[in-house]
Structures are given as structure tokens and as C-alpha cells.
Amino acid sequence: MSVNLLPQTPAIKDWLIEASSQLSKVGIFSARLDAEIILAHVLNKNRTYLHAHPEQIIDSGQYKIANYSLNQRVNHVPIAYIVGHKEFYEREFIVTPATLIPRPESEDIINVLKKLLQSTTYQMPPAQLIDVGTGCGCLGITAKLEFPFLDVTLIDISNDALKIAAQNAKKLSADTIIMQSDLLQNCTIKPDIIIANLPYVDKTWNRSPETDYEPKLALFADDHGESIIKTIIIQANHSFSPNGHIIIEADPTQHESLIKYAKKYFFIPIDRLNYAIVFKHQR
């Protein structure tokens, strides 16, 4: 779908009105916000600047870029891919179409990790934490920055995703190890804690059109969305240090099934928060 805007270079307020209208017509509920994010990004300003300078005429070069970006959003390209970053746990992470876009629900993993670390003696000696399926690295890097005593390894099957994770680790000054592996297949580290936001979407579920632009490898799984999580449970059973923990993200409708499955491999659930489940290994 193409976007037809004003024939002359408009002022900020006029571009925002027209852009918001275009986005609303294609069912984007955050139309005004997305328009402001796009224009602020193009102008290299914050959104407050747009509100303070509504009459400012947009430069012709920036106008073309803004229209191009708007056209992407009209076609449901995620706003994070358009601007190239997404906030997670109050930090800004680089994202590209090679990585899943961080979701607010994934912050549950960090919140239950914090609770777990407050109730255990992992600080001495440093605990080994592995972020499996790291993508842009938001979970593992956040874990390292929030809990510096952890030794953190970022694992993903995708080398393109790992390149972005490495950029984010450098940008945020997080001392982490980067490793390419299909889940734990190539990993020789004995982890104390595994955190994992793995694919858990069933292809039959209703979902937003924006997800069509995200890597399918990071979204979908067979067996009602549970197959890859079940695989990591099996692998973790053979990889853990004694009394290790695994924190997984899954849809709440999957939790009971996964808890039942995990018990077969000596994992018991000890905590749960919205999308996150914490298991303790008791073998």
C-alpha cells in the first residue's frame, strides 16, 4: 500500500495529522504514537520536540525519509524495525529483522530471576547463567547488568542474531560470552541457571500482522507451540549443575502442560509470574 501525503513539504503538525490518519485507516491503534516515533527518529529529536515545534517545516530530505518509513508502517512493518531499536527493562536494544522484538512480558523472566537470586546462594562462587535463544540478547545482557556476579553466556542458532547480541553487549558494556548452538547442543558449560524465551507460538493462533516480519525460527514451534521448550527441558536434564534452575517463557495456556512434562525430567515448578515459569532440577 502506498502513502499519498501533502504535495508540499509540510509542517510537523500537518505531517503528524496525515500520518496518523493513514495509520488509523489500516487498523493501527497506536497511530498517533507511531507517527510521532517515526518523525522524531527521522529528525533525530525526541517526541517532546515535536510538541514544542509544531509549525516547523520539515526538511525535504527528511520528508522523503519520513514518508518512506511511514509507508513501511502502513504495511505493518513493526515500528522497532523501522527505528532500529526497542526498549527492554529500561534499556535500549538494537533490533533487526534477524531478531525477535523484545516484548514487555519477557521482563517477567528478569523479575523471577531477581526473586530467585535473592533466595539462593548463587553469588559465591559466580553462577553460570545461559540465555538460550538469546536473539538480540535482551534477556542475558539485562541479567548480567542487573546481577554482575553472574557469568553469562548468550546462545542462539542464528549467527545473524548473535551479531546483533554482540553489538548490544558492547553498546551496554555487558561482559558476556557469545556462542552459536542449536539450543544446548554445542554447549559444554554446566549452567546453574538457564533462561529461555524460545519459540512457543502455535501457527494456528491468531496473531498481529506485524509478526509476519519477525523471524519464523524465533516464533513458531510444533506440538501446540511446546516442542522446542520440551527439547530444552530434556537437554537441561543432562546439562545442569546440581540443583540448577531453568526459567522459561511460555503462553499461560501452556503452563500446566509444560509443568506436567517437566516433572518427567526431574524439574519441579517453584515460581510462576504471568508468562514465566521457574523450575528447579532435583536429580
CATH number of the domain to which 53 belongs = 1.10.8.10
Q: Same structural domain for residues 122 and 172?
A: yes
Q: Are residues 132 and 209 in the same domain?
A: yes
Lowest mean pLDDT among 47-61, 68-82, 117-131, 172-186: 117-131
The pLDDT value recorded for residue 190 is 87
Same-domain check for residues 208 and 263: yes
Same domain, 106 and 65: no
**Within this chain, do residues 180 and 273 fall inside the same structural domain, yes or no?**
yes
Domains contained in the chain, number: 2
The whole-model pTM stands at 0.91
Residues 150 and 274 in one domain: yes
Amino acid, res. 1: M
Same domain as 101, residue 64: no
Does 87 score more than 80 pLDDT?
Answer: yes
Provide the pLDDT for residue 81: 98
Q: What is the pLDDT of residues 127-178, one digit of tens each?
A: 899 999 999 999 999 999 999 999 999 999 999 999 999 999 999 999 999 9
* Residue 2 domain flag: no
Residue 5: pLDDT above 90?
Answer: no
5 domain-assigned: no
Q: Mind listing the pLDDT tens digit for each residue in 14-68?
A: 999 999 999 999 999 999 999 999 999 999 999 999 999 999 999 999 999 999 9
pLDDT of 243 reads 80
29: domain range?
Answer: 12-75
Q: Could you tell me if 103 and 68 lie in one domain? A: no
Is residue 127 domain-shared with residue 19, that is, in the same domain?
no
